[in-house]
Amino acid sequence: MSERTIAAIATPLGEGGISVIRISGDDAITVADKCFKSVSGKKLCELGGYQALFGSVVDRDNSPLDDAVALVFLAPKSYTGENIVEISVHGGLVSTRQILRRVLQCGAVMATGGEFTKRAFLNGKLDLAKAESVIGLITARNDAAVKITQSALSGKISRDIKDILDKLLETASSLSVFADYPDEDIPGLTQENFCKMLNDCRQKCEKLISTYDTGRIIREGISCAIVGKPNVGKSTLMNLLCGSDRSIVTDIAGTTRDVVENVVTVGDITLNLSDTAGLHDTNDVVEKFGVDKAKEKIENAELLLAVFDASGPLDQDDLALLESIKDKKCIVVLNKTDLEAKIDKSQLDGFEIIEISAKLGLGYAALSDKIYGICNLHKLSPNDTVLISERQLDCVRRALDGINEALDSMHLGITLDAVGVCIDDAIAALLELTGGRVTNEVCDEIFKRFCVGK
């Protein structure tokens, strides 16, 4: 257990029904008993775990600061694995801060970002993969992201990694027996068996790596730019997706002179959306600035919605746009389909096409399905394990490198000691993922992304 007893406001700062001040550490109950007076006169130190008292938090002179319920968790059966008291008070920015200040006066010190969860990790309450899923759950922006992080929080990543680790450890120990007794005929200890085990581990790592990108899109969303020449209906489409008049819609060409950005959720996917200025040749300095920015967006966006007016033939600007996006992940959106079609679709061969009328709101569901498909979201099955951080991906990639090198060495007939070293590298990378073997720096880096109070 840590020596310092820490405290922080665990709920978002602002007006609300309830705010919770969390205290954790050896002295959590002593600290809370100094500033909390129960109506019954009972002290918190007289309670068992998971028991609560109603009363008030009192100032130095015993004057009440707020009504409160104090809930006691006794080590090790708490979130951090330490003694914890959670004091629930009326939600309010100033009053909650006042109570935190009072708790600090009574002997606690202010917790740093993620310190409660870090203590939970250090006390063996959760591993690093689970700790990362806690952040994922807090920051999830859609139902699918919640599902992925809940699965990680339930231990799915950790179980899959343990499965690979167990196999690698078994292979490493069998290898050393095999190396020590080369002339003995020990059942199961054959080069063929080692390769089989390693190949199995390799496939499992590859599967984990393959779902990462889809998971990242679900969790973080995808940067998506709406592009097209002026007046094709880009801003109307932006407003349709946002469900509001975020972009200005007029029939004057060049109205959106800069980039308008918004975050929208379309089905299970979050789009970090930019409505760009219409792409065309212009001498207007301000417009030119917008057009340059639009070109930059085309370059950097992960997905393009390229809008064309289906009520007219494609012109040179349209064809130039098609040429510039042909190698990018994009959906060609044929807009204004409520009007008579004059577009020649044969010029769009090879593109993913969707027909809509942004003005009438027609085609939204089909567009949403198309985005889902182009981002490969349908490839993710509910039982897939999804890595939820770049760090986890890096660990599995390093493990895969180690396994591949071990297999190569085996095939090349290099000494079994060398093969063992490669397997050890893979084991170390996976232990780093779950936190079984991790440096303080990596640990600090992870927990500093948490908010204070978590």
Q: How far is the CB of 312 from ligand GDP (least distance, A)?
A: 11
In the complex with ligand GDP, which residue's Cβ is closer, 144 or 307?
307
**Total residues contacting ligand GDP (rule CB under 6 A)?**
21
User: Which one of 46, 338, 417, 445 is in contact with ligand GDP (CB under 6 A)?
Assistant: 338
Q: Which is nearer to ligand GDP, 103 or 358 (CB)?
A: 358
Judged by CB under 6 A, does residue 231 bind ligand GDP? yes
Task: Check binding of 335 to ligand GDP (CB under 6 A).
Answer: yes
User: Is 435 an interacting residue with respect to ligand GDP (CB under 6 A)?
Assistant: no
Q: How far apart are CA 73 and CA 65, in angstroms?
A: 23
For position 235 contacting ligand GDP by CB under 6 A, the verdict is: yes
CB of 230 to ligand GDP, least distance (A): 5
* Measured distance CA(305)–CA(367) in Å, rounded: 10
Q: Examine residue 64 and say whether the peptide bond preceding it is cis (omega within 30 degrees of 0).
A: no
Distances (CA, A) of 94 to 30, 99, 152, 356: 25, 9, 36, 50
**363 touching ligand GDP, by CB under 6 A:** no
Taking the C-alpha atoms of residue 270 and residue 218, their distance in angstroms, rounded to an integer, is 7
Taking the complex as a whole, how short is the minimal distance between the CB of residue 277 and ligand GDP, in angstroms? 8
With 0-12 CB in 10 A as exposed, 13-18 as middle and 19+ as buried, what is 305?
buried
Smallest gap from Cβ 366 to ligand GDP, in A, equals: 14
Residue 158 or 231 having the CB closest to ligand GDP: 231
Token pair belonging to 411: 């095939």
Q: Which one, 338 or 445, has the nearer CB to ligand GDP?
A: 338
Does 233 participate in binding ligand GDP (rule CB under 6 A)?
A: yes
Residue 290 touches ligand GDP, criterion: CB under 6 A: no
Asked if 339 touches ligand GDP (CB under 6 A), the answer is: yes
Residue in 65, 75, 146, 249 binding ligand GDP, rule: CB under 6 A: 249
Is 56 within 8 Å of 64 (Cβ atoms)? yes
Q: Does the protein bind ligand GDP through residue 230 (CB under 6 A)?
A: yes
Strand order in the sheet with 303-309: 260-266, 269-275, 222-227, 303-309, 330-335, 352-355
206 binds ligand GDP (CB under 6 A): no
Q: How far is the CB of 293 from ligand GDP (least distance, A)?
A: 14
Tokens of 235: 């801003």
Helix segments in 234-389, DSSP class H? 234-242, 285-300, 316-325, 364-374
Angle among Cα 291, 293, 296 to the nearest 5 degrees reads 115
User: Binding of ligand GDP at residue 274 (CB under 6 A)?
Assistant: no
Q: What is the dihedral of CA 73, 77, 78, 79, to 10 degrees?
A: -170
Determine the interface stretch with ligand GDP among 233-241, 372-380, 416-424, 431-439 (rule: CB under 6 A). Answer: 233-241
Distance (Å, whole) CA 379 – CA 372 = 10
Residues that bind ligand GDP (CB under 6 A): 228, 230-236, 249-251, 255-256, 278, 335-336, 338-339, 357-359
